[in-house]
């Protein structure tokens, strides 16, 4: 247990020391030292911007991600179960899936202008495909014994989905959600490059405007990283629910 806390701290300190040393050694006057980044964060707090920007980014990611879950999970379950629908739609999904959300920026501005809807749309796009694809493969790889048992109980289609397929797929779906949440947080910087005027991504873009404020650029990166870590810890918490844990215990 001690190494679980101590080791990461030691590595973090080593990393900061190395960073500082490299900046001093290279004599750059552009790239900030760790304490300058810290001062940058303090400045953001004092100006009341940090909380605002974190809230803005979390709002966009939350809405975009939840929409993606609401669309992606049912869609994936259905496509995984009904083969003809899968054959019909899968090529389309596979074409859309590799298109980076950044490529959608021009279209997002045309459709949704430059308010919150455009970044939410981009985050939705980034996360809906991984969620759908994991749900599809979860259904397709379901153990036949569950389905046969359900057939013996003469469950109707709706109950089959609700009581057998969905619970059986849940562990895999949660893994998919975890990946998708990571991606949507990853996309937040690009999504906020659109002319919204808040958010951690915006902080980085705006710092470039402000002249030599690379301390704020790195501060923004750092905040994105730290919050990303917390989001991941949070969604990992889902894996502890009984409904999901059985899926993992098999692997132990």
Partner 1 sequence: MSSSGKILGGVVVLWLVLIALLHATLNLHLFEPKQSGTNAPFRVGFIPVTCHLTCPVTDFINKQMKGKSEFEPIRFQGFPELKEAFISGYLPATFILAPMAMRLREDGVPIKIVYLGHRDGSAMVVHRESLIYRIEDLRGKKIAVPSRFANQRLLVVKALKEHGVPLDSVQIVELAPPDMPAALYSRSVDAITSGEPFMGQAEMEGYGRVLYLTKDVWPNFISCVLAVREDAIRNNRAMVQRLIDGISKSGKWLDEKMDHRMEAAEFVGQNYYNQNPELLRFVLSKPPDRVKYTNLLVRKNDFLEIEALAKETGVLKGKVTFADYADPSFVLSEESIEPYAWDYKK
Alpha-carbon 84 to chain mean position: 31
Backbone angles phi, psi at 100, to 5 degrees: -65, 140
Burial of 1 (0-12, 13-18, 19+ CB in 10 A): exposed
> In residues, how long is the chain?
252
> Residues touching partner 1: how many (CB under 8 A)?
34
Q: What is the Cα 247 distance to its own chain's centre?
A: 22
Gap between the Cα atoms of 176 and 19, Å rounded: 34
Among 144, 152, 242, 250, binds partner 1 (CB under 8 A): 242
Q: Annotate each residue in 55-94 with x if it binds partner 1 (CB under 8 A) or - if it does not, as one string.
A: xx-xx--xx--x----------------------------
Is residue 238 near partner 1 by the rule CB under 8 A? yes
Query: In this structure, what token pair is assigned to residue 122?
Result: 């981009």
Tokens, residue 28: 């750059």
Contacting range for partner 1; rule: CB under 8 A; set: 78-86, 91-99, 111-119, 137-145: 111-119
Provide DSSP, 131-162: HHHHHHHHHHT--HHHHHHHHHTT--HHHIII
225 binds partner 1 (CB under 8 A): no
Helices 214-237, 49-81: axis angle to 10 degrees equals 40
Question: CB of 250 within 8 A of CB of 171?
Answer: no
Give min distance, CB of 231 to partner 1, in A.
Answer: 12
Q: What is the dihedral of CA 33, 37, 40, 46, to 10 degrees?
A: -130
Q: What's the min distance (Å) between Cβ of 240 and partner 1? A: 10
Here's the x/- map for partner 1, 152-191, by CB under 8 A: it reads as ----------------------------------------
> What number of CA atoms fall less than 13 Å from residue 140's CA on the CB side?
14
Candidate ranges 126-134, 136-144, 145-153, 194-202; the one touching partner 1 (CB under 8 A): 194-202
Alpha carbons 41 and 223: distance in angstroms, whole number: 9
Closest approach of partner 1 to the CB of residue 242, in Å: 7
Report if residue 135 touches partner 1, rule: CB under 8 A.
Answer: no
Minimum separation from the CB atom of position 148 to partner 1 (A) = 23
- Residue range at the interface with partner 1 (CB under 8 A); choices 5-13, 109-117, 128-136, 150-158: 109-117
Judged by CB under 8 A, which of 22, 114, 149, 226 binds partner 1?
114
User: Of 242 and 252, which CB lies nearer to partner 1 in the complex structure?
Assistant: 242
Kindly state the smallest distance separating residue 243's Cβ from partner 1, in Å: 6
Binding residues (CB under 8 A) for partner 1: these are: 30, 51-52, 55-56, 58-59, 62-63, 66, 105-106, 109-111, 113-114, 116, 193-195, 197-198, 205-206, 208-212, 238, 241-243
């Amino acid at each position: 247990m001690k190494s679980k806390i101590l080791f990461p701290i030691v590595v973090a300190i080593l990393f900061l020391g190395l960073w500082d040393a490299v900046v001093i050694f290279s004599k750059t006057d552009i790239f900030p030292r760790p304490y300058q980044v810290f001062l940058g964060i303090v400045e953001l707090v004092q100006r009341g911007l940090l909380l605002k920007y974190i809230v803005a980014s979390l709002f966009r990611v939350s809405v975009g991600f939840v929409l993606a879950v609401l669309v992606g999970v049912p869609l994936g379950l259905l496509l995984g179960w009904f083969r003809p629908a899968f054959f019909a739609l899968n090529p389309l999904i596979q074409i859309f899936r590799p298109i980076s959300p950044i490529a959608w920026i021009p279209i997002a501005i045309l459709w949704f202008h430059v308010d919150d809807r455009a970044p939410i749309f981009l985050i939705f796009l980034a996360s809906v495909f991984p969620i759908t694809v994991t749900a599809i493969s979860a259904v397709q790889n379901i153990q036949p014994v569950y389905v046969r048992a359900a057939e013996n109980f003469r469950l109707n289609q709706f109950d089959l989905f609700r009581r057998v397929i969905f619970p059986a797929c849940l562990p895999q779906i949660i893994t998919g959600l975890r990946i998708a949440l990571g991606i949507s947080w990853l996309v937040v910087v690009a999504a906020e490059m659109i002319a919204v005027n808040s958010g951690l991504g915006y902080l980085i873009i705006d710092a470039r405007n402000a002249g030599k404020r690379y301390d704020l650029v790195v501060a923004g990166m750092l905040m994105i990283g730290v919050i990303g870590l917390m989001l991941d810890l949070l969604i990992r918490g889902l894996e502890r629910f009984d409904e999901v844990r059985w899926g993992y215990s098999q692997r132990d």
